[in-house]
Structure 1
Amino acid sequence: MIVREFVINNKSGLHARPATLWVQTASQFQSSIRLSKANREVDGKSLLGILSLGLSAGSSVQVTVDGPDEVAASSELAKLIAELAEKGE
């Protein structure tokens, strides 16, 4: 199991488009992916779940990845967060 803390650094947070990109990336992996913020946990492969967390710019979120491809999944999701911040989306 891998647990990482991410800070959402893109200007608009994880609104519909970036959250959709997150779900598309997360869904490529067999591992379970969970996002937690303020004692609330959601499925990291659920668009509605992610949107319900209200992850705005500067928000911190804990991501737990558990499964056979957890290292690759964690790496790709970290890469996505960095790319979103670079693009300013």
Structure 2
Amino acid sequence: MVRFSVEITVSGGLHARPASVLVNLLNQYRSSVKMIYNDKQANGKSILSVMALGVKTGDEMTFEVEGVDEQEAATALRSLFERNFAI
């Protein structure tokens, strides 16, 4: 399992567009992805689950990636945040 935390820097937080980009990226991998924010958890491959977290700009959240391609998925996920969701 790969576990890491990120600060949300995308303007407006994880609203529909960045949540969609995130979910589409994660669905390219076989590993499961758990998002942890405050006392809530979400399936990173579900748009409704991600948006229900209500993550805002400046908030910190944790990801747990587990599966056969966890390293690749975690690297892609970190890169997405480093690029501030630029496609």
Query: Which of the pair is proportionally richer in helix?
Result: 1
In the alignment, structure 1 segments of 5+ residues that lack a partner are: none
The alignment's C-alpha RMSD in Å is 1.1
In the alignment, structure 2 segments of 5+ residues that lack a partner are: none
Inter-partner Cα distance in structure 1 for 2:64 and 2:6: 11
Match of 2:39 in 1: 39
The ranges of structure 1 where at least 4 consecutive aligned residues each deviate by more than 2 angstroms after the TM superposition are none
Residue identity opposite 2:32 in structure 1: S
Report matched runs for 1:1-89 at 5 Å.
1-84=1-84, 87=86
Contact 1:30 1:67 in 2 (8 A): yes
Given the two structures, how large is their TM-score scaled by the length of structure 2? 0.93
What per-residue deviation string (whole Å, max 9, x for no partner) do you get for residues 12-33 of structure 1?
A: 1111000000000000000010
What is the total number of aligned residue pairs between the two structures?
Answer: 86
Inter-partner Cα distance in structure 2 for 1:45 and 1:66: 13
Identity %: 31
